[in-house]
Amino acid sequence: MRLLEVGASGGLNLRPHHVGYRLDDTVLGDPDSLLVLDPEWTGRPPTDLGHRLRVVGRAGCDLRPVDVSTEDGRLHLSSFVWADQLERWNRLRDALDLAATDPVKVEQSAGPEWLAKQLTRAERDVLTVVWHSVVWQYVSPADRAMGRAVLADAAAKATPTTPLALLVFEPRRWDAGYRFELLLKLWPAGISLNLGYGEGHGTPFTWNVTPWE
Ligand SMILES: C[S@@+](CC[C@H](N)C(=O)[O-])C[C@H]1O[C@@H](n2cnc3c(N)ncnc32)[C@H](O)[C@@H]1O
């Protein structure tokens, strides 16, 4: 797959194949990674988790990217973690350490323009995954409209050998409040799923696959 992340900030999400994921008594992904997450899942996704992710390309953009190769950038991200959030603090520290071993530059750009450029080429036999987490609420109405149009154009061109996915983790209205939901669309397969819900910082997470209306 090829990962294209909009609103990537410091780009810490761009190494999913280099992360370990602790589940009960096993670690999926890279068990020797500097970043081993405890995702605190309830349930499991309906898929074979034994497959390794093969990432053939990744890129990210942000209106205000954070350069985590600098002390200033690392301090900037650390400043968002409250002093009593020790687990979150440890996750960030490990993610920064992992990033230092595998740098990925996050380009300074608004999402739609950047995405339009990235999506002009499609690689055969590669799933292109456009993703964003906790970004949509900050995007202007104009950028939202343009983002939807760019994605619709790419979706219309997707083929079985050049498929496209949209994967987002964003807050949605639920009951009297809201919750963070993981949503997936796949083209040209025409699949549209709500995969589950969790907390804004990713854990805990409950897998609960239903149609994404
Ligand atoms: C709360 S942060 C989330 C960062 C990261 N996605 C994560 O899950 O940790 C939201 C990010 O979205 C970026 N952003 C907001 N509007 C954007 C836009 N139109 N294009 C690109 N990035 C945008 C902000 O600069 C900020 O870095």
Question: Which protein residue's CA is at the shortest distance from atom 12 of ligand 1?
Answer: 7
Mean pLDDT of 79-94: 96
Two tokens at 168? 């987002």
Two tokens at 188? 């040209």
pLDDT 10s digits, 117-146: 999 988 999 999 999 999 999 999 999 999
Q: Is the pLDDT of residue 25 over 90?
A: no
- Is the CB–ligand 1 distance for residue 82 below 6 Å? no
Distance (Å) from CA 135 to ligand 1 centroid: 5
Question: Which protein residue's CA is at the shortest distance from atom 16 of ligand 1?
Answer: 139
pLDDT at 213: 83
Task: Indicate the residue type of 172.
Answer: R
Tokens 């996915």 map to which residue? 165
The pLDDT > 90 percentage for the chain reads 92
Cα(205)–Cα(199) distance, integer angstroms: 7
Give residue 46's pLDDT band: very low, low, confident or very high (50, 70, 90): confident
The pLDDT > 70 percentage for the chain reads 100
pLDDT at 193: 98
Cα(177)–Cα(186) distance, integer angstroms: 28
Question: Which protein residue's CA is at the shortest distance from atom 14 of ligand 1?
Answer: 7
Mean pLDDT of 72-79: 98
- Is the CB–ligand 1 distance for residue 9 below 6 Å? yes
Q: Is the pLDDT of residue 116 over 90?
A: yes
- Is the CB–ligand 1 distance for residue 133 below 6 Å? yes
Distance (Å) from CA 209 to ligand 1 centroid: 26
Distance (Å) from CA 63 to ligand 1 centroid: 7
